[in-house]
Amino acid sequence: MPEFRQPPPVPSALPVTTSGGGGWLPHGHHVDPHSHPLGQLVYAAAGALATTTERGTWIAPANRVTWTPPGFAHSHRFYGRTNVRLVAVPVDLCGELAAHPSVYAVSPLLREALLALTDRRAFRPGARERLLAVMIDELAEPPEQSLHLPEPRDGRLRAVTGLLHADPGRSATLAQLGQTAGASERTLSRLFHTELGMSFHRWRTILRVHHALVHLTNGRSVTETAMDCGWSNPSSFIDAFTELVGQTPGRYQAGLREDLK
């Protein structure tokens, strides 16, 4: 695990400048919808964050970074005491990254570049540009979709997803949820695939993993998190979490403790 660095304080408004910035934010801190003329990478070196746009929500633990291109309205929410780092990406470099909001995996080298770009108050001539080039190179892989939770436009589907947002651990079947929404199971199943590009089961699993990340960041045990988020046993939770996040819940929590040392 890379050596942890204490960042300078960051204003609550999280302004984007040509140099970015970093600092600690409290659990639950929320930044209202806004947009920027520059691209923006937001990284939680400790804690976790969610970035929401009209395309849905991306959640980023400490092994992910969220990307918002210029002009996209977006909001942020932070979970746990979060060491947040922001890097503004000049417009001429934005074309190297995805044209829509996304989340990228954070390699060890990318983490070091993000920390260096947000730690230093002054750079030698050309040093910042070289670090930005390294960062862009490390973001060459396609963005990940595993932690993207799309949101529907259809009113019937929104009624169903709203019920699940309110209670992710709810065990109701799609047919039972459809009774509340006034739509058949077949209709809702079709809408999940056509509007959201995934099955009902997949969408609910991603939603539950989003909430699980928050619970784990706040210190809940793996077993408590599994039960609270709707899994019938810890083993099935661990399998689903590992598939989407890329590490087990226990390893994720251990990483949080190491980052905060």
Instruction: Please tell me the total count of domains within the chain.
Output: 2
Is the same domain home to 249 and 216? yes
Rounded to an integer, what distance in angstroms lies between the CA atom of residue 80 and that of residue 26? 7
188-197 CB contacts, 8 Å cutoff, 24+ apart: 188/156, 188/157, 188/160, 191/152, 191/154, 191/156, 191/157, 192/157, 195/150, 195/152, 195/153, 195/154, 195/157, 196/150, 196/152, 196/157, 197/150
Rounded to an integer, what distance in angstroms lies between the CA atom of residue 20 and that of residue 115? 11
User: Domain span at residue 158?
Assistant: 151-259
The confidence score (pLDDT) of residue 258 equals 67
Is the same domain home to 60 and 169? no
Domain endpoint, select from 94, 115, 138:
138
Number of H helices, E strands in the chain: 10, 8
The confidence score (pLDDT) of residue 218 equals 83
Largest CA distance in the chain: 64
Residue closest to 49 by CA, chosen among 31, 36, 71: 31
- CATH number, domain containing residue 81: 2.60.120.280
What are phi and psi for residue 164, nearest 5 degrees?
-75, -35
Is the same domain home to 47 and 134? yes
Per-residue pLDDT of the chain (261 residues; tens, 9 = 90+): 233 333 444 444 454 444 568 889 988 899 999 999 999 999 998 888 999 998 899 989 888 999 999 999 999 999 888 899 999 999 999 999 999 999 999 999 999 999 999 986 778 888 999 999 999 999 988 888 788 999 999 999 999 999 999 999 999 999 999 998 899 999 999 999 999 999 999 999 999 999 999 899 888 999 999 999 999 999 999 999 999 988 899 998 887 766 555
Is residue 162 within a helix (H) or strand (E), and if so which, with residue range?
helix 155-166
The confidence score (pLDDT) of residue 46 equals 86
- CATH number, domain containing residue 161: 1.10.10.60
pTM for the model:
0.82
Rounded to an integer, what distance in angstroms lies between the CA atom of residue 13 and that of residue 92? 25
E strands, the chain, are 21-25, 30-34, 39-53, 56-60, 64-68, 74-89, 102-105, 148-149
Domain endpoint, select from 138, 168, 192:
138
Rounded to an integer, what distance in angstroms lies between the CA atom of residue 35 and that of residue 218? 29
Is the same domain home to 131 and 172? no
The confidence score (pLDDT) of residue 260 equals 54
